[in-house]
Amino acid sequence: MGFGQNFTSLMAFSRYSDGQWQTPDIRPLTDFNLTPASHVLHYASTCFEGLKAYRWADGGIRLFRYRDNIKRLRASAKALCLPMPDETMLDDMIKQAVLAVDSEIPALPKSLYIRPTLIGTEDNIGAAGKASKEAFLYIMTSPVGDYFSGGIRPLKLLIDEVNMRSTPTFGQVKTGGNYAAALSSVIRAREQYGADQVLYCPQGNVQETGAANFFVLKDKSLITKKLDGSILPGITRDSIIQLAHNQGYEIIECDFTVTELINWLPQSEAFLSGTAAVISPVGHLIHNNKTLAVGDGEIGRQTLAFREQLTAIQQGNQVDKFDWVTQINERC
Ligand SMILES: *Cc1c(COP(=O)(O)O)cnc(C)c1O
């Protein structure tokens, strides 16, 4: 089964009502009851996170930068006016959700994908303009293989200068609504152009794809859009920026246009970043019905090097000098 359809047997769960979160528990990952009038089903009060745990060769189970996911989930909850779980509760729930399924965590290079989810469950279709007074917070987990076990293939992106995946301020919120907004343009890009993803560039300004941040490597510069509320502040994005900075790359976090991007292409590499695939090389861009190669259209050498370094830190094959990795089980 592909990414997203294979789950462990248990999840961490807490319910918010009467102004407080109940003590979280670990329970079987089975269906739960929502009334048809639940806030989330009508008014999209939902946000989520995605992070990974790794079982290293030494038996230790490690989380990668999970405190950053906690911060981002809280920021998303705030933007959606959902009850905000405190950091300690989220910290405990993530660890418990992983430790509870210890025997189901695969060995490297596989990992355990963790999906914290927060939804508004108030039973009230009259609450369109009100915060949901009730919520569920649950953390499900999913064993995942090496994303590129079948080999890495450079992606083809459609440059879309018309559609938006979100709004100028909601783009930084990890919410289903942004995915819903992007869906029809992603499907059209696939059907009409054979594109793998859409690179959203409203009014010619390059942003990101539907689910990943976008980077260009040119000479010894790493170029990506700056965080301004319109794009998701990716944790993989930030990790790549720190790695590149540490290696003497010039970091250019700025706004840039499709015209600039197209001019850079012959001497550039490009890639996408996100937790699931880590780094995916981009081989071609489709613009005004023309297919343009990024560099020679193959996987970039520096792109691959960044991917190898980041996965080496995540899997314990390279010194973690950034302090990104946290062991959560007892040391044996
Ligand atoms: C989750 C996500 C990313 C990647 O964030 P990571 O923290 O690196 O996984 C990028 N863009 C969008 C729209 C996302 O939802």
Report CA(175)–ligand 1 centroid distance (Å): 11
How far are the Cα atoms of 39, 146, 193, 263, 275 from residue 212, in angstroms, in the given order? 28, 17, 20, 22, 9
The mean pLDDT value for 94-121 works out to 97
Q: Which two tokens stand for residue 296?
A: 């020679």
Q: State residue 232's pLDDT score.
A: 98
Residue 78 has pLDDT above 70, yes or no: yes
Give the C-alpha separation, 294 to 258, whole Å: 13
Q: State residue 146's pLDDT score.
A: 82
Pick the atom of ligand 1 nearest to 273's CA: 8
Cβ atoms < 10 Å from Cβ of 193: 15
Q: pLDDT by residue (tens digit) across 156-184?
A: 999 999 999 999 999 999 999 999 999 99
Q: pLDDT by residue (tens digit) across 52-76?
A: 999 999 999 999 999 999 999 999 9
- What integer best gives the mean pLDDT of the chain? 96
Residue closest via CA to ligand 1's atom 13 equals: 211
Q: State residue 243's pLDDT score.
A: 98
The mean pLDDT value for 175-199 works out to 97
CA angle 265, 283, 6 (to 5 degrees): 140
Q: State residue 207's pLDDT score.
A: 98
Q: State residue 1's pLDDT score.
A: 59
Q: State residue 279's pLDDT score.
A: 97
How far are the Cα atoms of 14, 28, 31, 55, 322 from residue 34, in angstroms, in the given order? 14, 17, 9, 35, 42
Residue 200 has pLDDT above 90, yes or no: yes
The mean pLDDT value for 201-225 works out to 97
Which residues' Cβ are closer than 6 Å to ligand 1?
50, 174, 208, 211-213, 232, 234-237, 273-275
The mean pLDDT value for 10-25 works out to 98
Report CA(35)–ligand 1 centroid distance (Å): 30
Pick the atom of ligand 1 nearest to 274's CA: 8
**Rg of the chain on CA atoms, in Å:** 20
Q: State residue 332's pLDDT score.
A: 56
Q: State residue 330's pLDDT score.
A: 87
